[in-house]
A and B are shown apart, each in its own frame.
Chain A
């Protein structure tokens, strides 16, 4: 969806370059000129992120904002639950409550610290073969967010063997399988939902698969009907349905409709980083970078949103003064992720390398590694774009075949 925002001019390609790290001294000047944007970014990284520790002068100086508002009942609840859990670390009911709070927070903040906290609370059950079903399903959720898809599916299978009518497990299974691009199995996992949780949720889950397998128009019609027929559905359910409608409409080239659905979803008033990211991608694709910047102006915490903010800023003329610092911050975060051996960010980093650092070769390597792990449409898209930018159209083949085999309808990927 972001293809138009990161057009890659062919004269920028420089094939046969050496790796970024090892440069012979004689080639240093050439290297510096050729990679001047990266060098600038690296310099900025050093400048902004390796600043010297300092001694603040004023006791009232704020250092860190923990939450958006001074009073956040969810945070207080989490703190109380944590205190109780410290006293009773093996109390499954308490742990379940705490983990639910953490994952709810993760959903609205996209902050993986909450996943780590949730995993800590599940420590007594983390290596058990068959913990209580509810905890097992949360364990699967955490594992899939760490891209341990196989382990996550195994947990869900155990859960469904113990409790075949656990709708939550079916839904999570459907979503994991969708992320892996296994739409046939995902469709089968959605089927029990129609009986277990009839309503907007079940329709949306099924429509999600339909929209990705050649039935985009039909899926949208289903979603519209379900939204009209379920006016009292929960905000989260409506949010998911509207976001899916908006994204699919955009993919079909129905821009006016996409715009309306994105706006409707935003009007629900529930913070959702996924929606913000999807809408920003849409705005970038439409060449509306200034609006994307306005949408994401304060979203510097979540990497995915900061990435889109930097992309939007770099598409503006003149570039806002914050653009350089945002690119440097992203670079530092990907660097820290690499140091800790984290490979969850490969899709985002590939897009960062391709569109902001103009390193198609490295972007392609990351996109290929990412494609081996997960197969959402966005993963296919970055693989195709990186392959084309690097002048290796053959490398895009797996993703193009995937789009073709599943009959995914998009106006921008052919």
Chain B
């Protein structure tokens, strides 16, 4: 009788189970894997649900039904070991060693995830990538790895399941035209979002509509000298940074990033000081050329972050540089008419030039300190 009762209860359980199915439930077990391939470098981020990790390796050390950050951290080695043992990457047919760089936390719509960040560096530019994904399939065949492959100018999506655990991706896929335009866009964006370049350019351009006569600034009499001044400055800056950008991008010269960034900040300070207590009055273009060399190295660092693709160096460099010029000319196109029409006013010479330069100097000095001593204070 007892046995019968038990089994009868179990039938009910199943009957209701079918009902429960109609309101089923949050997303099943998912993990989110993103790989970023740029140039020779590969970085990745893998979001693994804490509830899945708990079942796979155990996280809830004190067994109170709640996983805390402390408990996750204390299992960091187990988590990273699990992740690394369940993901195999082969670049150009050779297995790639992954290095875990960070363990963080993220919240998705269905709960908390451990975020494992990793990177890998190859000796050559990868042309194909073979991924074998094997997380949680043994404890849950319905687990899926939702995968995102990011390359400059291209994003691909794929899903790993027990049936599609191994997949191969062609990394030389993106069309050159697309990536050329991408680099032009990145060049423009780099000029506009890198405030140090804008401020440097502004510091050089501010006195462009003026002339220094007997120790005082005076407005130029016609459009022509103003245009010539600005043209000289912009051309010199362009020439200079094109030279160093090419040198750095082709690997002929390599300078440490922090040194370059600090020197760029210093160049902005000096350009601003030159407006307040002029040293180079007639030869602004020389200042532009000299410091432009520094800024070129800065552009090269930005370009390296985007990743250079094998066999596309010329197109990439040209595209990025073109973008930088377009961005620069846009700034000049806005600046010049305004400055030219205001040049006769005392307001321009006193407030815009003097106070503006002091402000630029203050900001750039702070950058310099930040970059030299490696801290962050300004929000930009």
Contacts and interface: CB of A to CB of B under 8 A. Distances in A.
Interface of A: 48-49, 51-56, 58-72, 75, 82, 100, 103-104, 106-107, 109-113, 115-117, 119-120, 123, 137, 141, 144-146, 167-168, 171-172, 175-176, 179, 197, 199, 201, 204-205, 234, 236-237, 239-240, 243, 272-274, 277, 301-306, 328-330, 332-333, 336-337, 339-342, 344-345, 347-348, 376, 378
Interface stretch (B16-24, B89-97, B185-193): B16-24
A123 B157 CA distance: 29
A60 B159 contact: no
Contact of A60 (B65, B69, B111): B69
Contacts of B22: 274, 277, 304, 347, 376, 378
30 contacts: A51-B106, A53-B106, A54-B105, A59-B68, A62-B66, A104-B13, A109-B25, A111-B25, A112-B24, A112-B142, A115-B28, A116-B141, A116-B143, A168-B10, A172-B18, A175-B18, A179-B18, A239-B16, A243-B19, A273-B20, A274-B19, A274-B20, A274-B22, A303-B26, A305-B23, A306-B26, A332-B108, A336-B110, A340-B161, A348-B23
Interface centre among A64, A328, A336 (most CB of B within 10 A): A64
Interface in B1-60: 4-5, 7-30, 45, 47, 50-52, 54-55, 60
Specify the main secondary structure of chain B where it touches its partner: mixed
Contact of A205 (B5, B15, B27, B65): B15
Nearest to B147: A339
Contacts of A168: 7, 10-11, 14
Contact of B24 (A67, A69, A104, A303): A303
A113 B109 contact: no
A59 B12 contact: no
A65 B111 CA distance: 9
A66 B65 contact: yes
Contacts of A52: 106
A409 to B, nearest CB: 20
A49 B11 CA distance: 39
Chain A interface main SS type:
helix
Most chain A beta carbons < 10 A, residue from B12, B29, B60 = B12
B230 interface: no
Given A274-B22, A339-B146, A59 B115 contact: no
Interface of B: 4-5, 7-30, 45, 47, 50-52, 54-55, 60, 64-70, 72-73, 104-112, 115, 117, 138-144, 146, 157, 159, 161
A347 B7 CA distance: 32
A405 to B, nearest CB: 22
B23 to A, nearest CB: 2
A171 to B, nearest CB: 5
Contact of B25 (A72, A112, A199, A204): A112
Given A62-B68, A103-B14, A175-B18, A336 B24 contact: no
B105 A176 contact: no
Given A239-B16, A274-B19, 15 more contacts: A59-B70, A61-B69, A63-B72, A64-B50, A66-B67, A71-B65, A106-B17, A145-B24, A199-B8, A234-B8, A272-B20, A274-B16, A274-B20, A301-B110, A303-B26
